[in-house]
Structure 1
């Protein structure tokens, strides 16, 4: 279930990159941020949907 946590962190970092790219008017960074957020966000949602939310115990 560590995969969900990693995907979530990458998605959050991509969203931060989108906001930063908008402030700096960096179009290429914005495109890559949108792509990364879309792909890793989708992986996060589908992993949680298929395997469930990670718990602390096995």
Structure 2
């Protein structure tokens, strides 16, 4: 479960990097930060779902 929160923190930092790179007009940085945010976001949501939500609905 801790892994999901750590990855979620990395996702939030990637979103901050996207905004920062947009301000600097660095589209290469925006692309890499965007891809990282998508990948880390997917895995953080998947991990938190698997560890927190799924056990609530099991018999």
Into which bin does the TM-score normalised by the smaller protein fall? 0.7 to 0.9
TM-score of the pair, normalised by structure 2:
0.83
Q: With the length of structure 1 as denominator, give the TM-score of the two structures.
A: 0.85
Structure 1 consecutive aligned stretches of length 4 or more whose deviation exceeds 4 Å: none
Structure 1: 5+ residue runs without aligned partners? 54-58
The structure with the larger Rg is 2
Unaligned stretches of 5+ in structure 2?
54-59
Greater share of residues in helix: 2
